[in-house]
Amino acid sequence: MDMEKQKILIVGGSSGMGLALARRCLEEGAHVIIAGRGEAKLDAAREGLGQPGTLETAVVDISREDEVAALFQRIGRLDHIVSTAADIEGAYRLLPEIELSAAQKVVESKFYGPLLLAKHGAPKLPPAGSLTFVSGIAAHRPAARGSVVAAVNAALDGLVRALAVELAPIRVNAVSPGWVDTPIWEFVAGDKKDDTLAAMAKRLPVGRVGKPEDIADAIRFLIGNGFTTGETLHVEGGHRLA
């Protein structure tokens, strides 16, 4: 794939895995649009990426259908859509402590958001285009406090398979990361983040937790491989085995 001819929307591209993917695609010459809810974070990401002329930013809340529809009206033609967005603050709780509002935010960001991106974005894609979403290890190795995230990740995997059939020949896939050192762990583990990640690193067959670049590589594969659709690509250091 000649990335210099590709226009890619990355929702959640202002930090973590999305930012790593944006950097990778820009280095290959693609035209990249990073989107998110916070204008300040997007501006910081643009500066961190060196403010190249092939980079745009867009403010959008993908849980709002009117905003998603307006986004695609503004940006026009695309080749690929990626979403790494996840609002999990307050979601990792034992069952008696779960607040419905926190659970709803996970559903809105990781399920309804991708659904709306597909609904309004697919008409902007060519037959060789793709949509790629991010689920996660919790769907396959659930743990206490992770029931909401596990359920939503599993639902997203099912959505990907259904959309791959309905939207064909447009390809629809997901990446399922394991434990990756991103800012999201500040919500999950707080000041115990480093110790928590170090303990998991000792368990994993690869001997380390993931980096945002590991997931960016996997998403880049799915963008470029024209014979892969309806798949959930597991990139988790062997976590399902440990």
Q: Mean of the pLDDT values across residues 145-159?
A: 96
Q: How far is CA 225 from the centre of its chain?
A: 18
The two tokens of residue 181 are 């050192």
Sign for the pseudo-dihedral over CA of 7, 235, 85, 56: negative
| Residues of the chain above pLDDT 70, percent | 100
pLDDT attached to residue 190: 76
3-241 belongs to which CATH class?
A: alpha beta
Q: What are the pLDDT digits (tens) for 162-203?
A: 999 999 999 999 999 999 998 777 767 778 889 999 999 999
Q: What are the pLDDT digits (tens) for 94-111?
A: 999 999 999 999 999 999
Domain locations along the chain:
3-241
pLDDT attached to residue 189: 73
Stretch (H or E) spanning 134: strand 130-134
Q: What are the pLDDT digits (tens) for 223-242?
A: 999 999 999 999 999 999 98
Active site residue 135: yes
Dist. CA 136–CA 151, nearest whole Å: 10
Contact indicator for 5, 77 with CB cutoff of 8 Å:
no
Contact indicator for 62, 40 with CB cutoff of 8 Å:
no
DSSP assignment of 61-118 equals -TT-HHHHHHHHHHH---SEEEE-----TTT---GGG--HHHHHHHHIIIIIHHHHHH
Contact indicator for 68, 62 with CB cutoff of 8 Å:
yes
Q: Mean of the pLDDT values across residues 24-28?
A: 97
Of 109, 130, 135, 147, the active-site residue reads 135
Of 43, 56, 51, give the one whose Cα is nearest residue 7: 56
pTM exceeds 0.85 for this model: yes
Q: Mean of the pLDDT values across residues 21-38?
A: 97
Of 175, 77, 189, 66, give the one whose Cα is nearest residue 122: 77
Contact indicator for 157, 139 with CB cutoff of 8 Å:
yes
